[in-house]
Amino acid sequence: MRAIVLSLALALAGCAQLPKTPTDGATAAQARLGGRISVTVAGDVHNRGTGGAASFELFGGPEAGRLELTSPLGPLLARASWQPGRATLQTPDGERQFDDLDALTREMLGEAVPVAALFDWLQARPWPAAPHQKTANGFEQLGWRIEPKLPALVATRLAAPVVTLRAKLDGGDESIP
């Protein structure tokens, strides 16, 4: 999360930005989900909580895809892309390689976020690659409580530190804080 908050601050100050990825035939054929997202990591007596918000576009699928985060003013802040055995994070500061999405999100946000599961969670369904348990307002999966109310989603990691991810898909009426 530290990197997103820092990236948001830099973008708002008018610093360098990433170029947008041109839309081509391959991109147009991929699944695309987009909207707004916020991630909050709860603090404790030793650490302040952190958080940030951005617009997002999620392309592809759990095996291979791309996540782009854009500031409220429009500049592209970060682009994460992945394929089996490799994940890449591009920011205005450069490009970094990771072994997988968990390592990438842990570096980017300070905590791992199951991006592969987001494709299903954003469509109000459990990710088929992991067991889940139904709850009164949704389901629990991968140590997260998922409460989908399309076009919005609230996902809360149950382990400390608590991480809350809120997303609203394009075209919805609900706002996210």
| pLDDT tens-place string over residues 39-95 | 888 876 567 667 788 999 999 998 899 999 998 888 898 999 999 999 999 999 999
Give me the pLDDT at residue 23, please.
40
pTM of the model: 0.76
CB crowding 70-93: b at 16 or more within 10 Å, else e: bbeeebbbbbbbbeeeebebbbee
Q: Average pLDDT, stretch 8-26?
A: 42
Per-residue DSSP letter, 22:
P
Give me the pLDDT at residue 70, please.
93
